[in-house]
Chain A
Amino acid sequence: MSSWLDYTINGLIVGNVYALVAVGLALIFGVSRLINFAQGSIYLVGAYIGWVAVVQLHTPLPLTIIFVAVVAALVGLIIERFGLRPLQNSVRIAPLLATIGISFVLDQLVMLTFSPNPRALPSQLPDVRFQVGGGTIGPLDLLIAGVGISSALLLFVFLRYSKLGWAVRAASQDRDAAMQMGVDVNRVNQAVFGIAAALGGVSGLLVGMYYNQIDTAMSLQATLKGVVAEVVGGAGNVPGAVVGSLLLGLVESYGVAVFGTSYRNLFAFLLLVVVLVLRPNGLFASARQAPPEPLTGTFIAPSRPVRIPRWALLVAVAVFAILPLLPVSFYVLQTLINAWLLGMLALSLTLVAGTIGQVSLGHAALLAIGAYTSALLSLTLSVPVGLAIIAGGLMSAALGTILISPSFRLRGHYVSIATLAIGEIVSLVILNWESVTRGPIGISGIPPLSLFGYDLIDPKSVYWFSFTVMVVLALLQARLLSSHLGRSFRAIRDDDIAARAYGLSLNRYKSLAFIFGGFAAGVSGGIAAHLYSYINHETFNTQQSILALTVVILGGLGNVVGAVVGAVALVGLPEVFRIAAEYRILIYGIVLLLLVRFRPQGLLGTI
């Protein structure tokens, strides 16, 4: 039974590591109600600045920590001043997209400066180990725990007893009222971003030393685990974030103990979903606390959408329909096929995120369900591909709606986090459910697209097929939105209490939206499976979900044409920037930031 002691200690140790990121996220969320996706990137920057200090400048540890904290704080201030402050009067979703763009830019800058090769970051602490249970802990474990807990305590005291701390809390409760009382809200935001960034940078340094390894891929993972820990503890609650992190570490460790390593993250994300369903405001939210989100109506503010005359749309559809007859290269066609497939996913997401206000960050899971259903049906049961794709869409609609239904009672950011977790769960189930999905080996030899016995293999016919499916789905969705159903959806998004007062059943309408959206995403995934001929659990990953959300926000939430325009833009831009080689994702990130800066309501506006 001594093993259980070891599992407990290991869980607490890794929980410590999560806590460092979670505290910074909680602080920012507490004040600006923003999930800062750039926090992981600041963590990355901190790790590499630390590397420069330790390996190049040979600074002693206290100096290294101060150096990293100062540089990271400066990065945080720059992000706040130039990335987020210009957006403070725009829709609430815009800063979220801005932090995604900022994280692209920071990650790429680090990669270009330091090369993507992992580096060793030697610990500067003496290498003594203390025997605890069956294993040992070192001084770095204690330092990480010390930094995590003391920073949470310091922040708690700061928020509760200092004048600037009061200002921070006042601003987080009601920005306008705080401003009227003479609080300089910008200064508050600066203070918060500076502190959170310093903390993020130092955590990157310490975690890098802990593993003696830093690489440019560490930022997204840090953000994901940090967000889970933070939300478990109660978003915006700093001491809660520490407890949430330790709990997350313990659950993962016990999960490994009972079921094995490949189930580890499954438990992390299940914990998140369970906590959100049972206690939607996190474990440590007090009953007196103000609601964590403003009403959804201010989360997604309607704007004046750009009106596109019907003839212009018809011309655009006609141009794209006859495109394969013109002398364009197959490369252009293939890029547009990708755009149409992403467009179907975006149609699905713009419906659930934009029209009914359930901002999903796990939409790639719907692609995966559709793709696996269609691939397995056609491969093992020899179902004709056309039917298999439709079955994939139906399966996505059914399974997606069932999976998502526990999160129907959540609002705003919490929906995003719950869907993020559900998306991860689906991907991990695919990895582990080997008897059906063939696990990591994946499914190969998926038959190509075919319709009524005719194989669609040349790019032109695939193009026409995917374009037609997307246009049909778009037309259906446009029809849906102009019906009373669309008005009910928007009513729920804008004010769910009023909508309920009018007798709308929220769960029923949310289900309907997910059924329709799930179908479109599942069809997209199904087509992709037959196009690629090989899929595994990595084909439809988190980045895909984030990309889909970016498309939807960029195009304008709820905007059908916007979703398609956004998809063409975000598939096309990285291809157009190919000449820039390694720099293309950096340029892409900057373009994304500029678009958010100048069109925060999306290119075509929210409907």
Chain B
Amino acid sequence: MSNINRRTLVKGSLAAAIAGTALSRAAFADTAEPILLGVSGPLTGPNAQYGTQWKQGFDLALDDILAGGGINGRKLAYQFEDSQSDPRQSVAIAQKFVSDPKIVLELGDFSSPASMAASPIYQRGGLVQFGFTNSHPDFTKGGDFMWSTSVSQADEQPLLAAYAVKKLGLKKLAVLHLNTDWGRTSRDYFNNAAKEYGAEIAITEGYIAEERDFRSTLVRVRDANPDGLVLISYYSDGALIARQARQVGLKQVICAASSVYSPKFLELGGDAVEDVHVGTRYFPEDPRPEVQKFIAGFKKKYNGLEPDAFNAYAYDAMNMAAAVVRIGGTDRKAIRDAFTKVKDVPSVIFGTATFDVASRRVKGAMNAELVVRKGQFALWDGKPT
């Protein structure tokens, strides 16, 4: 009995899927329909928070785009498919997007295993995979349909190293990094730059994302006797490390990568993150118009909430997607070519973004040197802490 049910179920869902594709093909001709982008990202699972932040950034950008008349009169919209940042699901989503003619461009995924597993499908299917948080050095090597506005760590980490070594005068550093492809790549770029500027790397410690207890790690750090701690972390683990460092009595200067730049870092870290130095790509009082527009718009749309780095990446990515679609129209190959043509798109992260056609990435991220003062991010005033 259950056997029959099972098979009817499977066949039923297959039939529904076939019907679904037929339907979507029929609807394609309608130009009153919005231009649709596919987003593959985590809405559930351990990385769900980042997917939620993407949505906030996307929605704000879409409001702006619509207010500016849309894309040649047509509305821009996205279809967000939850991948849980799991490669098994991101490849299925990739096939779904590739075989859906309404999707003109894809954004995401979040983690490297999920994004890069899907790359061959996007490449062969001829749909641009626009991975705006994919810093893995091999991501854009997946093919000429892989483009990224993720700040290259080769760009970002020397800026942080310059802040820590040249500006703050730190000579002996302890580097704590998330032991992922991002953290590992960043650490290498940071260490090289810091050594070049004349600092010594006293100790490096990689930790896994689920780690919450750093007290023993910090004893190792203490014994290495550094004069500064460098956190290549996200905001939640960065806040944990800062708190525990102060608890075990480490009083050294702490510098952190831009990925901790979030109001959550202040909330989770409390007093412990006071005086933490952060190299970021923008800051609240930044006079650049695109930053002011982003921050004011964000606060207005989300009840006074401060945007964070991931909100900004998503906001920029959606604006970039709009700029590309304006040039390339709705043809997937023309959109790929539009990435090579698009110039000086206003961007929170880059000021203006233009792709380097050879690496398919954007170079020249903005730099702001911040410090936490009285529980707020503020531009560093040049005073030592």
Q: Which residues of B contact A532 (CB under 8 A)?
A: 87, 91, 113, 116-117, 120
A533 near B264 (CB under 8 angstroms)? Answer: no
B219 near A213 (CB under 8 angstroms)? Answer: no
Q: Pick the contact of B215 from A13, A129, A265 — CB < 8 Å? A: A13
B interface bracket (residues with beta carbon within 8 Å of A): 35 or more
A256 near B249 (CB under 8 angstroms)? Answer: no
CB distance from B258 to the nearest CB of A (A): 18
Q: How far is the CA of A341 from the CA of B88 in the complex (A)?
A: 10
Q: Which residues of A contact B219 (CB under 8 A)?
A: 3, 6-7, 10, 134-135, 257
Is B138's beta carbon under 8 Å from chain A? yes
Is B352's beta carbon under 8 Å from chain A? no
Q: Which residues of A contact B330 (CB under 8 A)?
A: none
Encode contact with A along B258-282: 1 for CB under 8 Å, 0 otherwise. 0000001001111000000000000
Is B89's beta carbon under 8 Å from chain A? yes
Q: Pick the contact of B87 from A134, A332, A539 — CB < 8 Å? A: A539
B119 near A534 (CB under 8 angstroms)? Answer: yes
Encode contact with A along B74-109: 1 for CB under 8 Å, 0 otherwise. 000000111010111101101110111000000000
A interface bracket (residues with beta carbon within 8 Å of B): 35 or more
Q: Pick the contact of B91 from A252, A338, A569 — CB < 8 Å? A: A338
* Contact A582 to B213, CB < 8 A, known contacts A3-B219, A431-B179: no
Q: Which residues of A contact B208 (CB under 8 A)?
A: 262, 264-265, 431
Is B34's beta carbon under 8 Å from chain A? no
Is B340's beta carbon under 8 Å from chain A? no
B99 near A331 (CB under 8 angstroms)? Answer: yes
A256 near B220 (CB under 8 angstroms)? Answer: yes
Q: How far is the CA of A431 from the CA of B178 in the complex (A)?
A: 12
Residues B108-138 near A (CB distance < 8 A):
111-113, 116-117, 119-121, 124, 136, 138
* Chain A residue at smallest Cβ distance from B17: A332
A108 near B88 (CB under 8 angstroms)? Answer: no
Is A89's beta carbon under 8 Å from chain B? no
Q: How far is the CA of A13 from the CA of B121 in the complex (A)?
A: 48
B43 near A603 (CB under 8 angstroms)? Answer: no
B240 near A211 (CB under 8 angstroms)? Answer: yes
B220 near A129 (CB under 8 angstroms)? Answer: no
Q: Pick the contact of A578 from B10, B53, B82, B249 — CB < 8 Å? A: B82
B243 near A448 (CB under 8 angstroms)? Answer: no
Is A403's beta carbon under 8 Å from chain B? no
Is B222's beta carbon under 8 Å from chain A? yes
Chief secondary structure at chain A's binding surface: helix
A135 near B116 (CB under 8 angstroms)? Answer: no
B236 near A135 (CB under 8 angstroms)? Answer: no
A568 near B10 (CB under 8 angstroms)? Answer: yes
Q: Pick the contact of B3 from A221, A327, A448, A604 — CB < 8 Å? A: A604
* Contact A257 to B216, CB < 8 A, known contacts A328-B17, A534-B138, A581-B82: yes
Q: How far is the CA of A265 from the CA of B176 in the complex (A)?
A: 17
Is B303's beta carbon under 8 Å from chain A? no
Encode contact with B along A583-607: 1 for CB under 8 Å, 0 otherwise. 0110000000000000100011000
Is B166's beta carbon under 8 Å from chain A? no
Is B205's beta carbon under 8 Å from chain A? yes
Is A84's beta carbon under 8 Å from chain B? no
Q: Which residues of A contact B21 (CB under 8 A)?
A: 327, 329
Q: Which residues of B contact A578 (CB under 8 A)?
A: 81-82
* Chain A residue at smallest Cβ distance from B42: A116
A216 near B48 (CB under 8 angstroms)? Answer: yes
A213 near B236 (CB under 8 angstroms)? Answer: yes
Encode contact with A along B200-220: 1 for CB under 8 Å, 0 otherwise. 000001111011111111011
Q: How far is the CA of A582 from the CA of B249 in the complex (A)?
A: 42
Is B183's beta carbon under 8 Å from chain A? yes
Is A177's beta carbon under 8 Å from chain B? no
Encode contact with B along A98-126: 1 for CB under 8 Å, 0 otherwise. 00000000001001000111111010000
CB distance from B307 to the nearest CB of A (A): 13
Of the listed stretches A281-289, A435-443, A467-475, chain B binds A435-443
CB distance from A181 to the nearest CB of B (A): 39
* Contact A118 to B268, CB < 8 A, known contacts A134-B219, A312-B3, A532-B91: yes
A582 near B236 (CB under 8 angstroms)? Answer: no
B112 near A252 (CB under 8 angstroms)? Answer: no
B248 near A256 (CB under 8 angstroms)? Answer: no
Q: Pick the contact of A116 from B49, B212, B216, B220 — CB < 8 Å? A: B49
* Chain B residue at smallest Cβ distance from A530: B120
Is A14's beta carbon under 8 Å from chain B? yes
Q: How far is the CA of A516 from the CA of B82 in the complex (A)?
A: 35
CB distance from B222 to the nearest CB of A (A): 7
Is A294's beta carbon under 8 Å from chain B? no
Encode contact with B along A263-296: 1 for CB under 8 Å, 0 otherwise. 0110000000000000000000000000000000
Q: Which residues of A contact B80 (CB under 8 A)?
A: 581
Is B63's beta carbon under 8 Å from chain A? no
A221 near B88 (CB under 8 angstroms)? Answer: no
Q: Which residues of B contact A603 (CB under 8 A)?
A: 2, 6
Q: Which residues of B contact A431 (CB under 8 A)?
A: 179, 208
Q: How far is the CA of A437 from the CA of B4 in the complex (A)?
A: 46
Is A576's beta carbon under 8 Å from chain B? yes
Find the residue from A213, A252, A333, A531 having the highest chain B CB count within 10 A: A213
Is B239's beta carbon under 8 Å from chain A? yes
Q: How far is the CA of A39 from the CA of B184 in the complex (A)?
A: 34
Is B247's beta carbon under 8 Å from chain A? yes
* Contact A534 to B13, CB < 8 A, known contacts A331-B92, A440-B181, A581-B43: no
Is B287's beta carbon under 8 Å from chain A? no
Q: How far is the CA of A584 from the CA of B184 in the complex (A)?
A: 33
Is A184's beta carbon under 8 Å from chain B? no
Q: Please give me the 6 A-B residue pairs with the lowest Cβ-Cβ distance, nearest first.
A: A532-B117, A534-B116, A116-B48, A334-B95, A135-B248, A331-B96
Q: Contact residues of A with B, CB < 8 Å?
A: 3, 6-7, 10-11, 13-14, 17, 108, 111, 115-120, 122, 129, 131, 134-136, 138, 211-213, 215-218, 220-221, 252-253, 256-257, 260-262, 264-265, 306, 308, 312, 316, 323, 326-335, 338, 341-342, 431, 439-442, 444-445, 448, 457-459, 528, 531-536, 538-539, 543, 565, 568-569, 571-572, 574-576, 578, 581-582, 584-585, 599, 603-604
A122-B270, A534-B116 given. 16 additional CB < 8 A pairs?
A108-B44, A116-B48, A213-B239, A260-B206, A312-B3, A330-B98, A331-B92, A334-B92, A338-B88, A441-B185, A442-B112, A458-B124, A534-B112, A534-B119, A572-B10, A585-B45
Q: Contact residues of B with A, CB < 8 Å?
A: 2-3, 6-7, 10, 13-14, 17-18, 20-21, 43-46, 48-49, 51-53, 80-82, 84, 86-89, 91-92, 94-96, 98-100, 111-113, 116-117, 119-121, 124, 136, 138, 141-142, 176, 179-181, 183-185, 205-208, 210-217, 219-220, 222-223, 236, 239-240, 243, 247-249, 264, 267-270
8 sampled A-B residue pairs with Cβ under 8 A? A116-B51, A135-B249, A211-B212, A215-B49, A261-B176, A333-B95, A532-B117, A536-B113
